[in-house]
Amino acid sequence: MTSFRPTLQVICGRIAAGKSTLAAKLSEPDDIICISEDAWLSTLYGPQMQTVQDYVKFSAKLRGIMTPHISQLLQAGLSVVLDYPANTIDNRRWMRDCATQAKAEVLLHLLDVDEATCWQRLQDRNARGEHPFKPSRAQFTQICQHYTPPQAEEGFAIHIHKPE
């Protein structure tokens, strides 16, 4: 008999650091579910999402319904990759609470990518048109101001990813 506990994998990194790319790789095994905030937000609120304040409002609404859903998936024995930004203490607390409710493990992936590289990646991504949202330079700067890397006292098991 094994003592497998489902794992909630969360990803911390600046905007355009590669969170969605990593989430896709982490969820390649068939028994791992990936939940993408951007996919849900663009489907539910796409045209209404014009400002960072809009994102904050709609993201909070989505978290409200996703909390029990994530916990139920974990309780059912499925591991989950959250393609949500674990970029603030409050977001990470919410993510940990989802796992705690389900008695699941939590692993935080930290994308160690500097702001200048992220800005270049965002410009490239915007030019390709492959993402549902195209933040401006001002929005990029505003979002980066809220980025807070995880601290040891938060107690996460952390896997650090450096750019190639």
pTM above 0.85, yes or no: yes
Domain assignment of residue 130, yes or no: yes
Predicted pLDDT of residue 3: 56
What radius of gyration do the chain's Cα atoms show? 16
Does residue 109 lie within any of the structural domains?
yes
Residues 6+ apart with CB under 8 A from 123: none
Which structure tokens are listed for 29? 């095994």
Place of tokens 């989505």: 62
Confirm if 14 and 119 have CB atoms less than 8 A apart.
Answer: no
Instruction: State the pLDDT at residue 153.
Output: 93
Residue 2 lies in a domain: no
pLDDT of 126 reads 83
Choose among 6, 9, 21, 3: nearest CA to 158: 9
Q: Which two tokens stand for residue 78?
A: 């499925």
Low-confidence ranges of the chain (pLDDT < 50): 1-2
Provide the angle, in degrees to the nearest 10, between the axes of the packed helices 52-75 and 89-101: 20
**Separation of alpha carbons 37 and 66, rounded Å:** 10
State residue 1's pLDDT score: 42
pLDDT of residue 95: 96
Would you say residue 87 lies in a domain? yes
- Structural domain total, the chain: 1
Range of the domain at 133: 7-161
Q: What is the pLDDT of residues 99-120, one digit of tens each?
A: 999 999 999 999 999 999 999 9
Evaluate whether residue 1 is within a structural domain.
no
Q: Quickly list H helices, 6-163.
A: 19-26, 37-45, 52-75, 89-101, 115-128, 137-144
Tell whether 14 is covered by a domain.
Answer: yes
> At 90, which CATH number?
3.40.50.300
Residue 53: inside a domain, yes or no?
Answer: yes
